A and B are shown apart, each in its own frame.
Chain A
């Protein structure tokens, strides 16, 4: 097959995927950008307002606070998920048979069940008088803790549920990386007398760097853009204590019908998420 024919055939293969991406990603993206320059209250096309929507967002204290809070919980929950996921993956890597499968399966359940159901489940578990959490506390002779009603505990609960949801995914991704390691390297390290810690630090971790990086990127984006868990678990409260940026974006659009401003915020979120991904790739020196 000559080069031209090969190129044409290759191009044909990627056309369906490109068309799909164009239809459902690129066009909506460009259209969102376009909408962000207009007054689109109640989805009625109004005047061209230029960068006014962006200016109003960037000078809004609530938006800035929501961005900062989202950054903080994203960093904490992603770090916890990856660290716990890695620890679990290293542990399961040494196990075999039904037990290992069972742990992997149970670990993945929070990832595969509906986010709304999971968040609602935790909301009721944390319920002050009727929830299981407080029933156990009461049984142990402690007073009830109103978890999602107190600012600090609501934040902790939010991080906890985000970590709970993603730790299984991180574990499976990292386990896949560990399973694909060349066993001859491990054997060689053992022969050279490497301790367990040295094996982890100098052999395993550098070799699963790509899996760690990819998991971290996926989890960061997932946590940064997660609207469902904060909406259902804490409703962004109390008093905006758990108000994440995507909740603001949702409310701007679907509560106040400022679709132009909501589009502008979507673009800002997309830029921030893209920058986070670029930063990860840069820091990890990952070649694409």
Chain B
């Protein structure tokens, strides 16, 4: 009898938990992108209620930046914005909960499903489709953007802004705008009498010239690349595909890699490894390894993100100011952190205000001057002076104007990493490039439900 009672009690607890879980997921489902569009009044009511409670308001934000870090320029800039915002809005406190960037968006989705997400969220580009699909973000038109003039909107209207758009509403502003290209040591290029390469042939030839032993006898490679399938930035094969085909995907969202462009990209990559310009160990090297090794002086040039330049300059074992950035031939993949307000937040208005603060013209200058970032606003571009030291900013601005992003109407997850499988296959198994590319296409299509 007691056994039965215990079993029944356990079963009830389990059932309640399951129902609670369903409820939470269900509510997320009902909070679809469309459903959130008209919730401005709701959010205002919620925030008013919260303000009236008299306890003050705490805005939680998830980002990979840690405002207590005084070494990182972006973190310092963010800390200043928080301090200013709290002074301007007495009773409102901004609490940053720093996260690991690789799993941050997945955690946000989980937190959204369980109803305990942060008020402000920094989402990764490839995951934004899923975030919007889950109805996890509030349209900015329901918040501060309803008061913006057309001129103000025009000032930020670019590829990034439109990427965060769905059904005519905008859900995100893009911070830490970024693009993938190559980092190079200007001093070494000058010493070798090499102009900054603009074609793949020039890049290869420059790599050959720059490969050798450095002054301390350590092997230095002409071109650093990383082909790990875990953490990575887009590698040269992506630029080859963009150069030859203009896009990486077909209209139906399937991968379009098994073609001449892909084969040329693989052959060029293999040529770099075979010639010793790129170390053969790159086959399983992560991009973080490459950045560390670049700062240690192992490479003269390296595929990498522009946004990492300021940190690399700080960490370099040589004169960091000689590090510059240029776009890779073929096309530039642009990226950034798509920041929005959680649709379930009780403090949407205040969270929106802080997002607006992080995107204000004054903050934009802080991101640039303290954080080493590129401008977010068109009006800021006119205010900055391009010098020899920060000429990488011009390369970034050019890339933003012409760069490539995947469409935001479907999930495009894992493509950068999936495109490293054929590279690994060719380098480790000497596989036929076309077959390796077809395998990679199947992997991407299957993992993205195509």
A→B interface (CB under 8 Å): 22, 26-27, 30-31, 34, 40-45, 123, 127-130, 146, 148-151, 154, 231, 234-241, 251, 253-258
Partner of B17, one of A31, A123, A151: A31
Partner of A130, one of B13, B18, B296, B425: B296
- Whether B25 pairs with A237 at a CB distance below 8 angstroms is no
B→A interface (CB under 8 Å): 10, 13-14, 17-18, 21-22, 25-26, 28-29, 103, 106, 109-110, 112-113, 127, 130-131, 133-134, 218-219, 227-231, 279-286, 289, 293, 296, 298, 411, 413-414, 417, 421, 424-425, 427-429, 447-449
Which chain B residues border A146 with CB–CB below 8 Å?
Answer: 279-281
7 more A-B residue pairs beyond the given contacts A27-B17, A241-B428, A258-B449, with a C-beta to C-beta distance below 8 A: A42-B131, A43-B112, A129-B298, A234-B284, A238-B428, A254-B103, A257-B411
- How distant is A171 from chain B, measured CB to nearest CB, in Å? 31
- How distant is B296 from chain A, measured CB to nearest CB, in Å? 6
- Whether A44 pairs with B133 at a CB distance below 8 angstroms is yes
Which chain A residues border B421 with CB–CB below 8 Å?
Answer: 239-240
A264 and B424 alpha carbons, distance in the complex (Å):
29
- Whether B113 pairs with A43 at a CB distance below 8 angstroms is yes
- Whether A45 pairs with B280 at a CB distance below 8 angstroms is no
- Whether A255 pairs with B413 at a CB distance below 8 angstroms is yes
Which chain A residues border B411 with CB–CB below 8 Å?
Answer: 41-42, 257
A30 and B449 alpha carbons, distance in the complex (Å):
26
Partner of A255, one of B113, B417, B449: B417
- Whether A42 pairs with B109 at a CB distance below 8 angstroms is yes
- How distant is B218 from chain A, measured CB to nearest CB, in Å? 7
Partner of B106, one of A26, A150, A234, A254: A254
Binding site of A, secondary structure by majority: helix, strand, loop or mixed? Answer: loop
Partner of B127, one of A31, A149, A257: A257
Which chain B residues border A235 with CB–CB below 8 Å?
Answer: 228-231, 284, 286
- Whether B284 pairs with A238 at a CB distance below 8 angstroms is yes
- Whether A237 pairs with B103 at a CB distance below 8 angstroms is no
A-B contact pairs, 17 of them (CB 8 A): A26-B10, A27-B14, A30-B17, A31-B17, A34-B21, A40-B25, A44-B133, A128-B279, A150-B428, A231-B230, A238-B227, A239-B425, A255-B414, A256-B413, A256-B447, A257-B106, A257-B109
- How distant is B370 from chain A, measured CB to nearest CB, in Å? 30
Partner of B298, one of A22, A41, A130: A130
Which chain B residues border A40 with CB–CB below 8 Å?
Answer: 25
A239 and B218 alpha carbons, distance in the complex (Å):
29
- Whether B428 pairs with A151 at a CB distance below 8 angstroms is yes
Partner of A256, one of B25, B26, B293, B414: B414
- Whether A42 pairs with B283 at a CB distance below 8 angstroms is no
Which chain A residues border B279 with CB–CB below 8 Å?
Answer: 128-129, 146
Closest to B414 in A: A255
- How distant is A34 from chain B, measured CB to nearest CB, in Å? 6
Which chain A residues border B10 with CB–CB below 8 Å?
Answer: 22, 26
A42-B229 in contact given A154-B284, A235-B284 (Cβ < 8 Å): no
Most chain-B CB neighbours within 10 Å: which of A151, A251, A256?
A256
Which chain A residues border B113 with CB–CB below 8 Å?
Answer: 43-44
A149-B280 in contact given A22-B10, A45-B28, A257-B109 (Cβ < 8 Å): yes
- Whether A27 pairs with B13 at a CB distance below 8 angstroms is yes
A43-B428 in contact given A130-B298, A236-B230 (Cβ < 8 Å): no
- Whether B18 pairs with A34 at a CB distance below 8 angstroms is yes
Which chain A residues border B17 with CB–CB below 8 Å?
Answer: 27, 30-31
Closest to B448 in A: A256
**What 10 A-B pairs come out closest when comparing CB atoms?**
A42-B130, A235-B230, A128-B281, A146-B281, A45-B25, A239-B424, A149-B281, A43-B113, A238-B284, A254-B106
- How distant is B426 from chain A, measured CB to nearest CB, in Å? 9
Which chain B residues border A237 with CB–CB below 8 Å?
Answer: 228-230, 283-284, 424
- Whether B285 pairs with A149 at a CB distance below 8 angstroms is yes
- Whether B284 pairs with A129 at a CB distance below 8 angstroms is no
- How distant is B117 from chain A, measured CB to nearest CB, in Å? 11
- Whether B21 pairs with A44 at a CB distance below 8 angstroms is no
Which chain A residues border B134 with CB–CB below 8 Å?
Answer: 42-44
Which chain A residues border B14 with CB–CB below 8 Å?
Answer: 22, 26-27, 30
- How distant is B132 from chain A, measured CB to nearest CB, in Å? 10
